[in-house]
A and B are shown apart, each in its own frame.
Chain A
């Protein structure tokens, strides 16, 4: 169980998190999304007990997370800046994690190492960027910690390997259901393995819900400009684009669109198109103001 109550964190006066609140009560595979600087990494570090909140609290298994040893043993945080003994080989690093994490699955860890052609005696620092990411993920999953936090687990990896790793994360979750949070820039690639999405924006939770709520967040309407223009007066438009003279496409909130009391005949003239969670996320976090086209055409 994890819970954040109005969690707030400032670094030298700069906001990272501001009144961030959410709760996860049982095993789920949750994607944490947000633009750079939204507060994802600060959130993960707070849950792992590495950061003292400026305000509010992060609870793990009903205890405040900050510098709490029983929390530490139940939380595994994967991050790019993980530090390892420089002189130890990969197998030795695994052994030390095996000693700390009660449920560590050493057999799985060694199997995955072999699968990814990583040498047990290699030094972590000699690995390529992609390989060290792979190693960190192997370690993080094998720890089988009740709360597993994966901060950008696939950074620096080839698309083919990323696909493999998302599949491994899903299989591992099915084998050992637990709270797993994954942040990634590649929402489109990982969304299908997720159950829930936690959407962080400007230090706050903008939306926390099941994958399908994000799959039906927005909708594109396409028709001749004479049909579309009047709708633009009624709805918040996230994007508008003309395709030649006869066709205009706008992106709007699905909920707003469905709440419109307009006639069936109008709906008949519209072509509807779903918007993926990744696209919706881009529209919601995009800077307000004119679109790219406006910028280049002025």
Chain B
């Protein structure tokens, strides 16, 4: 079944984004993953939605809860994710690729050639876009308001991987 872009619920998009953060090594096994509230701030989404996104990973065993400490990436997260992505993401993308190739009258040989060429390029990495965030424009104003009035943690200045201490 084909799935067009941008049609997933926010929490599913968030789950995908989190998986990509782990796959790309930005958050490593046994490290603490972004808290519900951190994610809520990053994407301007409701904390309940953020928690649902995190729970998608908990259900798959990619992330686990430590009582009072928050959520952590499990030791075999990469293994699980690679397996899942090979099965689902890759299969789906290949299906799209083949459909497109048929439409353009690209032969099997030509397609394989293209694949081989792409695979020889070792540096190129596919990085997934974060879920659409309608609120990240006007960063200046956002920074100002974050600093001065509403909240003392400023997401824009915080380092990647650095996480709130909200116990979950």
Q: Do they bind each other?
A: yes
Interface positions of A (Cβ within 8 A of B): 28-29, 108, 111-112, 115, 160, 163-164, 166-168, 170-172, 174-175, 189, 192-195, 210-212, 215-216, 267-268, 270-275
Residues of B within 8 A of A212 (CB): 9-11, 49, 52
Main SS class of interface, A: helix
Q: Can you list 9 contacts pairing A with B, beta carbon distance less than 8 Å?
A: A28-B48, A163-B137, A171-B146, A171-B151, A189-B134, A193-B44, A210-B48, A212-B49, A273-B4
Report the tally of A-B residue pairs with Cβ distances under 8 A.
Answer: 96
Known contacts A29-B46, A211-B49; A166/B135 CB under 8 A: yes
Residues of A within 8 A of B137 (CB): 160, 163
CB atoms of A274 and B7 under 8 A apart = yes
Shortest Cβ distance from residue B9 to the other chain A in the assembled complex, whole angstroms: 4
Interface membership of chain B positions 137-165, coded 1 if the CB is closer than 8 angstroms to chain A and 0 otherwise: 11001101110111100000000000000
CB atoms of A168 and B150 under 8 A apart = yes
Q: Which residue of A lies closest to B141 (CB)?
A: A164
Known contacts A193-B44, A272-B1; A167/B9 CB under 8 A: no
Q: How far is the CA of A111 from the CA of B149 in the complex (A)?
A: 6
Q: How far is the CA of A203 from the CA of B2 in the complex (A)?
A: 39
Residues of A within 8 A of B1 (CB): 267-268, 270, 272
Interface size on B, residues (CB 8 A): 35
Shortest Cβ distance from residue A223 to the other chain B in the assembled complex, whole angstroms: 10
Q: Which residue of B lies closest to A172 (CB)?
A: B150
B3 at the interface (CB under 8 A from A): yes
Q: Which residue of A lies closest to B7 (CB)?
A: A274
Residues of A within 8 A of B44 (CB): 166-167, 170, 192-193
Q: How far is the CA of A216 from the CA of B10 in the complex (A)?
A: 11
Residues of A within 8 A of B133 (CB): 192
CB atoms of A167 and B142 under 8 A apart = yes
Q: How far is the CA of A192 from the CA of B48 in the complex (A)?
A: 11
Choice from A29, A175, A192, A273 contacting B134 with Cβ under 8 Å: A192
Known contacts A167-B142, A174-B40, A270-B1; A195/B46 CB under 8 A: yes
